[in-house]
Amino acid sequence: MLDRIRIVLIGTSHPGNIGAAARAMRNMGLEDLALVTPRCDPKDREAYSRASGANTLVDAARQYDALEEAVADCTLVVGASARSRHLPWPMVAPRALAESLPQALAPAEARVALVFGREDTGLTNAELQRCHQHVHIPTNPDFSSLNLAAAVQVLAYECRQAFLALDSDLQASSGESISESEQPFGVEWDNPPATHADLERFFVHLESTLTAIEFHDPDNPRQLMARLRRLFMRAHLDSMEMNILRGILGTIDKRLRERS
Amino acid sequence: MLDRIRIVLIGTSHPGNIGAAARAMRNMGLEDLALVTPRCDPKDREAYSRASGANTLVDAARQYDALEEAVADCTLVVGASARSRHLPWPMVAPRALAESLPQALAPAEARVALVFGREDTGLTNAELQRCHQHVHIPTNPDFSSLNLAAAVQVLAYECRQAFLALDSDLQASSGESISESEQPFGVEWDNPPATHADLERFFVHLESTLTAIEFHDPDNPRQLMARLRRLFMRAHLDSMEMNILRGILGTIDKRLRERS
């Protein structure tokens, strides 16, 4: 389970934080580190110094130009956020998130990304809206700004706790197959989850079709696409549903072309 | 409760770790830091730099020559340890420890110390044996050496979780407002949920429009409407989302009428 959890750091300024995050990850058994447009040299001396033996993770970290590339193959994307801004978004506590991961990772092809923003400004609204849900680490209201690596440490720790609990459950049930309650929706599902890349293609198509039918005005977008994102992301679409929705959009496009 | 938990750092070598520990503490609402024979200047620039606003804790930290002085007034002393050496000692996991603290701190005069050893060698056997119990943070067996401040972060986080749980229990029993964790999506939502009647009207409209664009054939329905129901019902649509979806369907209907 832990090997299918990716830590994504966006726009990190301090190489020490990348090293310390790598160390926290490896301590907790996570191995998959992705960096999106770091604002420092991730292989700076300070990164290795703070990694303190987790150098392999720093060396293996892949770099991306945008969040959507870093999470394209992920089936659940969770953004670390202080508080939902503007538009409320599904929000979980670290423990509830970690306890949901065995279910979310039950399908063999499932992958989870935990996304962390910049030291100074966190995640942008556009980045937050690419997430299925947000996770908030409860902090002292008078002093709430967690260090980046400390936030990674807390979530990685909770992931490991959930993994250890699962492991002992499995041992207790003498290695039987995953029970129905551990499936993503409490039962064995009929189709694999849609990937982030599928979803993003769908949203591009949706916006294009809504513009074509003149429901949506890209010059005056208001919150329309954000609200539709929020709706479809929290439903955790499966691949068949994704195909149906794309099929509906394609059919609308066709009818519009016939008209002109 | 949190104000009667003391973090004790013994023989710390790196001022940065003192600063980062202070920051982790303050983030989680702990304020009481004690240093036993630090092997560095706790007021070094690096300490303040990593404290990042928790300078008051660094400044207020008291220094002691020996563990027994630092914990003299404590009623429960817990040592952070990899594994009991030589002599087995009562050992708890971080969560079990944190969950036991409200009880341990029930007497007004009770005080708890969480004791952390040197970066390189941890706590000595003599120090471990001054503890009521040991706490072990589960780590990757292949890479088990946690950074000192990361260890403080994990335990401080668990203490805060236990404190928040206690706090919400108290609120629940005094009939106060619903906590965020009891909100449908973990945050206060911006619109009321759609009613069942709204939903049923939407599904009638959806089927009618999908038939009109010739995506759906009511004479050969297969599982289409069932799959769309399943999708939209599990998303728990709110009333604004309902209006948006109905608006999209209405606009498609209008374009089709324009064609004919």
A108 plus A231 within the same structural domain: no
Q: How far apart are CA B143 and CA A54, in angstroms?
A: 8
Looking at per-residue pLDDT, the higher value among B77 and B182 belongs to B77
Give CA B251 to chain center in angstroms: 45
Strands A5-10 and A32-36 turn out to be parallel
In one-letter notation, the amino acid at residue B204 is V
B140 → closest Cβ in A29, A251, A256: A29
Angle at the Cα of B202 (from A130 to A217), degrees rounded to 5?
50
* Neighboring chain B residues of A235 at a CB cutoff of 8 Å: 231-232, 234-235
Q: How far apart are CA A86 and CA A134, in angstroms?
A: 14
Q: Do B8 and B36 meet the contact criterion of CB atoms below 8 Å apart?
A: yes
Give CA B237 to chain center in angstroms: 28
A161–B138 CB contact, under 8 Å:
yes
Question: Which pLDDT does position B69 carry in this prediction?
Answer: 92
Indicate whether B200 pLDDT > 90.
no
* Neighboring chain A residues of B224 at a CB cutoff of 8 Å: 244
Question: Which pLDDT does position B175 carry in this prediction?
Answer: 46
Residue A184 lies inside a defined structural domain of this protein: no
Give CA B211 to chain center in angstroms: 48
Q: Count the alpha carbons within 13 Å of B67 in the hemisphere toward its beta carbon.
A: 24
| Non-local CB neighbours of A109 within 8 Å, separated by 6+ positions | A75, A192, A193
B213–A252 CB contact, under 8 Å:
yes
Q: Which residues 155-214 on chain A approach chain B with CB closer than 8 angstroms?
A: 157, 160-161, 164, 185, 210, 213-214
Residue A258 in contact with partner chain B when CB distance is under 8 A:
yes
A142 plus A56 within the same structural domain: yes
A91 → closest Cβ in B140, B143, B187: B187
A154 → closest Cβ in B144, B153, B188: B153
Based on the structure, what is the number of domains in chain B?
2
Q: Which of B115, B139, B173 is the last residue of a domain?
A: B173
A151 plus A32 within the same structural domain: yes
Q: How far apart are CA A155 and CA A104, in angstroms?
A: 16
Pick among A248, A253, A256 to test the B interface (most B CBs inside 10 A): A248
Q: Do A240 and A191 meet the contact criterion of CB atoms below 8 Å apart?
A: yes
A244 → closest Cβ in B54, B224, B251: B224
B42 plus B103 within the same structural domain: yes
Question: Which pLDDT does position B180 carry in this prediction?
Answer: 45
A26–B140 CB contact, under 8 Å:
yes
Q: Could you tell me the residue range of the domain that residue A219 belongs to? A: 196-259
* CATH code of the domain covering residue A228: 1.10.8.590
In one-letter notation, the amino acid at residue A170 is L
Pick among A206, A252, A253, A259 to test the B interface (most B CBs inside 10 A): A252
B166 plus B221 within the same structural domain: no
Residue A84 lies inside a defined structural domain of this protein: yes
Question: Which pLDDT does position A82 carry in this prediction?
Answer: 78
Centre a 10 Å sphere on the Cβ of residue A149 and count the other Cβ atoms it contains: 30
pLDDT tens-digit profile of B46-66?
A: 999 999 989 999 999 999 999
B221 plus B111 within the same structural domain: no
B57 plus B148 within the same structural domain: yes
Residue A187 lies inside a defined structural domain of this protein: no
- At B178, the pLDDT band (50, 70, 90 cuts) reads very low
In one-letter notation, the amino acid at residue B72 is A
Indicate whether B179 pLDDT > 90.
no
Q: Do A30 and A5 meet the contact criterion of CB atoms below 8 Å apart?
A: yes
Residue B13 in contact with partner chain A when CB distance is under 8 A:
no
Which ranges of chain A have pLDDT less than 70? 83-85, 170-187, 260
B144 → closest Cβ in A27, A147, A224: A27
Question: Which pLDDT does position A100 carry in this prediction?
Answer: 93
Residues in chain B: 260
Question: Which pLDDT does position B214 carry in this prediction?
Answer: 96
Question: Which pLDDT does position A178 carry in this prediction?
Answer: 45
**Residue B84's closest CA among B119, B130, B135, B140?**
B135
B46 plus B152 within the same structural domain: yes
Q: How far apart are CA B8 and CA A102, in angstroms?
A: 36
